[in-house]
């Protein structure tokens, strides 16, 4: 999983060329006068801009009015004038060291500036008059004046002609005395100032966000330099000839009449939307049911319907995402996608949509089934005699990620547990997918060998076996095998007497094992025709499951007989689990349930079906066995980081408790994607051996940030119990549908459809499953560390004044409320009894009140 760090750029200390210094971004800078504007034709406008603090002077105290303005300077000037607030990130190839990085990001997110065709932005490039016209046109409500006829209009590129006409109608950008427009001539700083001053004087501009709380409001001819928030109590709103540089959020059921431009219009309840003929919308999200959209002749990039929706009119619609049944559209969109839970195809222009003509059953069905049922060969990999706990490089042969080399020296013998390792070998196919996710074989019967790590109760010493086996897809995100589910719940596994089995899941981590111990792992093989191939894994998993059903004593003692087998995966491993079940569920479950339940942790996506080959369209599938999905708050943000998730859409699926479909979707407020530290991680010396000499870097926390005490571990442990109770005893697990995080949809440049968590006054998330740490907080909980894409969360303790305001009676008041919140999540079934007792026994925050 790739991540890019989110950074902001401060104004450079050393400036060159005509970049500005001394920029004032707060209150005005009245009294500052440039030494070179006296008598200039734009003197009044320049002085106004200086007084407002929108631009500054160079080191000599000059403004340089006749110098050209750069693209990033123009972004800065417009942002200051408009009052844009929301920050964003950039993926341009040349903005990393831009002086006005934040201003470029704001301008691009607002949609009035774009990059170049070569994925650059050219921040220091001079701005042409044609480019300035296109920027201005994106900001302006519809103009009613007549466009000026320029004698050189034929020299305006097709990409800019409509913008030049729009800008000239406004009168904010004018031609030359000779009747020309001179589209390629660069814009001077004086011209830019004159344009922006005219814009702010001639248009109604709402700086920052606009909150609508009164019913039946009518807003006309306004540029909103932020978001529009419509209160749930509002039943009707009209916005006529408006440009919204952010998003329009309708939080309840309402009638919205909108004519103008907006990036996103999102309605949470039942919506009745009427769009004017001049409307341009990037994304229209409809979360409720029974929505109606009279789209007229509007231009819409995407309509995303999560409930039944009727779209009428003759709009230009690029993409329709039918994520629910009962979606109809009067026109043919450029592209249609069908959501995961959509069972009824949308009706397009009066006809039911046909999603695909590809086969719904694989032509290789029999071969897929026979391969899955073929039992692998298991060869035990022995430990050298005398292997014991160690914290450095160790010359005795033992498994990578053995409990004998964990940083916390968790003692297996004291817990009456035994650890063994096996080489699993067999033959597997490599697959590709039709456009409807039906698999077919591209390479059959490829020999493979991977490793299996097994831990089980020592029943000969009196430890009881629970009857449960948990197969964990070892996580490959770090380039080495990570036992993420064991790491979360190892003590619960051992207390309960469960069997834990980890399976190496990727060719890269298989190669890391060889680096760790080339002799021990010499026979590992993930190659097809001499190339490493990750697509072998899916048959490996099926074959391991069938082995545990039909010949478990190939790896387990004779007195351990599995009754229930569950499969788990976290992060990238969960993506493998999602992909495996979505593609192959109907093939490996022909005459019995191969697995009794599934637990997918912090895994909001699918992964490749083969090396370099895209995976399925659907992330999750309907299973008759319980399928749990557990998300941290951090998953809401992953789409903002890195190109791996550029096409990522965070999919929420409602709970289901039917005989043939059992599903739970949990979101945990305040939690990060992974925990900051664990006592069963391999020691750093052994990680370095496996990972090309690179060990685990120490975690650094900036400023007041601390390692978070709010982790997913307790929720995951309870989910392991709940999935078993449902599978074995028919007791449905607690529903998570009423505990989803509150979020709004945002659209960043290049990254689409990202949920943005709504926060309280302490910057803690609203909604979600709420552990007592965030329900009764003494800190702000952040899903990332240092405002970057690090996957572990952090916390910042409140100051004493905030604590006193929240808990005026001191620690005893706080602790009583904390214990009550712990009792609530325990009563709801999200925490098991032993973890509840740990919570109420904790006295960790007493010192904050002293």
- List the one residue out of 59, 58, 107 whose CA is nearest residue 86: 107
Helix (H) or strand (E) holding 424: strand 417-433
* Strand extents, DSSP E, 708-793: 743-748, 751-757, 779-782
Distance between CA atoms of 223 and 205, rounded to whole angstroms?
A: 5
Characterize the bridge pairing of strands 210-212 and 280-286: unpaired
Q: Is the pLDDT of residue 647 over 70?
A: no
Of 471, 464, 469, nearest in space to 497 by CA: 464
- pLDDT, tens digit, for every residue of 734-769? 999 989 999 888 776 655 567 788 999 999 999 999
Cα(205)–Cα(576) distance, rounded to whole angstroms?
A: 49
pLDDT confidence of residue 454: 98
d(CA 732, CA 832): 15
Phi, psi of 207 (to 5 degrees): -80, 135
Strands 417-433 and 377-380: antiparallel
Residues 6+ apart with CB under 8 A from 86: 106, 109, 226, 227, 246
Owner of token pair 């999603």 = 355
Reduced 3-state DSSP string for 250-291? ECCCEEEEEEEEEEEEEECCCEEEEECCCCEEEEEEECCCCE
Phi, psi of 690 (to 5 degrees): -80, -25
Structure tokens at 148: 């000026």
- Taking residue 402's Cβ as centre, other Cβ atoms within 10 Å add up to 21
* Mean of all residue pLDDT scores within the chain: 90
Q: How open is the CA angle 683-685-690, to the nearest 5 degrees?
A: 95
User: pLDDT at residue 558 above 60?
Assistant: yes
The whole-number average pLDDT for the span 716-742 is 96
What the block records as the tokens of 397 is 């042969």
Chain centroid offset of residue 520 CA: 39
C-alpha separations of 704 from 10, 530, 793 in Å = 21, 51, 13
Q: Could you identify the residue written with the tokens 């907006």?
A: 262
Asked whether the predicted pLDDT for residue 722 surpasses 90, the reply is yes
When mean pLDDT is compared across 158-172, 270-284, 621-635, 769-783, the lowest value belongs to 158-172
What pLDDT does residue 370 have? Answer: 98
Q: What is the mean pLDDT of residues 45-67?
A: 93
pLDDT for the residue numbered 678? 76
**Which of 324, 313, 257 lies closest to 287 in space, CA to CA?**
324
State pLDDT tens for residues 292-325: 999 999 999 999 999 999 999 999 999 999 989 9
E strands present in 330-376? 335-338, 347-348, 351-352
Element holding 502 (H helix, E strand): strand 499-503
Q: Which two tokens stand for residue 651?
A: 């999919």
Instruction: Give whole-number Cα distances, 381 to 207, 502, 520, in Å.
Output: 67, 14, 7
Better-scored residue on pLDDT, 487 or 149: 487
Residues of the chain above pLDDT 70, percent: 93
Structure tokens that stand for 618 in this block = 């659907």
| pLDDT tier for residue 146 given thresholds of 50, 70 and 90 | low
- Burial class from Cβ neighbours inside 10 Å (0-12, 13-18, 19+) for residue 698 reads exposed
Cα distances (angstroms) measured from residue 168 to each of 68, 171, 182, 700: 21, 5, 13, 54
What is the distance between the alpha carbons of residues 69 and 185, in angstroms, rounded to a whole number? 12
pLDDT at 3 over 50: no
Mean pLDDT of the region 164-169: 80
Average the pLDDT over 416-439 and give the result.
97
| Rounded Cα–Cα distance for residues 755 and 766 (Å) | 13
Q: How far is CA 309 from CA 194, 258, 286, 321, in A?
A: 46, 18, 8, 11
pLDDT digits (tens, 9 = 90+) for 85-135: 888 778 788 998 899 999 999 999 898 999 998 989 999 999 999 999 999
pLDDT of residue 694: 77
> Where along the chain do its domains lie?
43-127+186-202, 205-352, 365-621+673-707
Q: Is the pLDDT of residue 17 over 70?
A: no
Q: Directed axis angle between helix 71-82 and helix 101-110, to 10°?
A: 70
pLDDT value, residue 176: 84
Cβ partners under 8 Å of residue 623, min gap 6: 581, 585, 598, 661, 662, 663
Residue pointed to by tokens 């949609």: 111
From the number of C-beta atoms within 10 Å of its C-beta (0-12, 13-18, 19+), residue 158 rates as exposed
Task: Give CA–CA dist 162/156, Å, rounded.
Answer: 10
């Amino acid at each position: 999983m790739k991540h890019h760090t989110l950074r902001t750029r401060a104004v450079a200390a050393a400036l060159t060329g005509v970049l500005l210094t001394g920029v004032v971004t707060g209150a005005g800078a009245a009294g500052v006068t440039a030494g070179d504007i006296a008598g200039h034709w734009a003197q009044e406008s320049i002085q106004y801009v200086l007084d407002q603090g929108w631009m500054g002077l160079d080191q000599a105290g000059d403004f340089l009015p006749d110098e050209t303005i750069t693209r990033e300077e123009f972004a800065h000037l417009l942002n200051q004038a408009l009052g844009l607030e929301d920050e964003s990130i950039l993926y341009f190839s040349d903005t990393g060291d831009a002086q006005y990085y934040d201003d470029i990001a704001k301008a691009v997110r607002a949609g009035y500036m774009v990059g170049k065709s070569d994925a650059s932005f050219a921040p220091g490039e001079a701005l042409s008059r044609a480019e300035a016209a296109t920027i201005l046109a994106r900001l302006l409500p519809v103009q009613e004046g007549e466009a000026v006829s320029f004698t050189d209009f034929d020299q305006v590129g097709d990409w800019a002609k409509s913008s030049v006409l729009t800008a000239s109608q406004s009168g904010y950008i004018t031609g030359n005395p000779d009747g020309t427009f001179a589209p390629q001539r660069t814009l001077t700083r004086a011209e830019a100032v004159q344009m922006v001053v005219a814009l702010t004087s001639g248009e109604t501009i709402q700086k920052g966000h606009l909150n609508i709380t009164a019913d039946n409001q009518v807003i006309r001819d306004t540029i909103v330099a932020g978001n529009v928030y419509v209160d749930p109590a509002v039943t009707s709103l009209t916005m006529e000839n408006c440009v919204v540089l952010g998003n329009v959020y309708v939080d309840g059921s309402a009638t919205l009449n909108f004519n103008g431009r907006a990036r996103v219009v999102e309605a949470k309840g039942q919506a009745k939307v009427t769009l004017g003929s001049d409307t341009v919308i990037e994304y229209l999200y409809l979360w409720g049911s029974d929505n109606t959209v009279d789209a007229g002749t509007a231009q819409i990039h995407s309509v995303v319907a999560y409930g039944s929706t009727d779209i009428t009119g003759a709009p230009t619609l690029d993409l329709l995402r039918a994520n629910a049944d009962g979606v109809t559209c009067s026109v043919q969109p450029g592209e249609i996608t069908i959501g995961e839970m959509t069972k009824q195809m949308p009706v397009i222009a009066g006809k039911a949509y046909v999603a695909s003509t590809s086969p719904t059953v694989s032509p290789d069905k029999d071969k897929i089934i026979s391969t899955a049922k073929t039992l692998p060969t298991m060869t035990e990999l022995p430990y050298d005699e005398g292997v014991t706990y160690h914290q450095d490089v160790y010359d005795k042969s033992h498994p990578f990620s053995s409990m004998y080399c964990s940083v916390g020296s968790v003692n297996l013998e004291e817990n009456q547990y035994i650890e063994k390792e096996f080489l699993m070998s067999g033959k597997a196919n490599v697959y590709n997918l039709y456009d409807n996710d039906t698999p077919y074989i591209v390479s059959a019967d490829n020999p493979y060998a991977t490793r299996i790590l097994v831990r089980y109760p020592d029943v000969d010493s009196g430890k009881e076996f629970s009857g449960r086996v948990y197969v964990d897809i070892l996580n490959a995100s770090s380039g080495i095998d990570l036992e993420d589910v064991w790491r979360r719940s190892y003590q619960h596994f051992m207390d309960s007497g469960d069997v834990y089995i980890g399976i190496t899941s990727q060719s890269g981590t298989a190669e890391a094992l060889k680096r760790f111990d080339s002799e021990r792992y010499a026979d590992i093989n993930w190659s097809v025709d001499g190339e490493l191939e990750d697509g072998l894994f899916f048959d490996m998993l099926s074959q391991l499951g069938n082995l545990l059903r039909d010949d478990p004593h190939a790896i387990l003692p004779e007195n351990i007989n599995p009754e229930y087998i569950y499969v788990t995966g976290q992060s990238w491993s969960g993506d493998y689990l999602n992909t495996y079940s979505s593609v192959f569920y109907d093939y490996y479950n022909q005459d019995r349930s191969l697995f009794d339940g599934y637990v997918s942790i912090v895994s909001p996506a699918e992964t490749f079906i083969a090396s370099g080959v895209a995976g399925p369209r659907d992330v999750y599938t309907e299973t008759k066995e319980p399928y749990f999905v557990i998300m941290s708050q951090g998953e809401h943000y992953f789409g903002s980081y890195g190109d791996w998730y550029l096409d990522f859409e965070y999919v929420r699926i409602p709970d289901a408790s039917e005989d043939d479909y059992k599903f739970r979707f949990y979101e945990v407020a305040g939690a990060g994607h992974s925990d900051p530290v664990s006592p069963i991680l391999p020691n750093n010396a052994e990680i370095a051996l496996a990972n090309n000499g690179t060990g685990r870097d120490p975690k650094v926390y900036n400023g007041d940030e601390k390692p978070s005490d709010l982790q997913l571990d307790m929720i995951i442990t309870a989910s392991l119990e709940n999935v078993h109770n449902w599978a074995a005893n028919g007791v449905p697990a607690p529903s998570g549908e009423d505990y989803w995080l509150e979020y709004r949809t945002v659209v960043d440049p290049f990254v689409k459809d990202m949920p943005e968590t709504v926060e309280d006054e302490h910057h803690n998330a609203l909604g979600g499953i709420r552990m007592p740490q965030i329900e009764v907080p003494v800190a702000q909980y952040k899903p990332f560390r240092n405002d970057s894409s690090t996957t572990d969360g952090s916390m910042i303790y409140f100051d004493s004044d905030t604590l006193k305001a929240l808990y005026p009676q001191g620690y005893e008041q706080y602790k009583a409320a904390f214990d009550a919140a712990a009792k609530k999540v325990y009563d709801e079934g999200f925490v098991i009894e032993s973890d509840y007792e740990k919570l109420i026994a904790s006295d960790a925050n007493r010192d904050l009140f002293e």
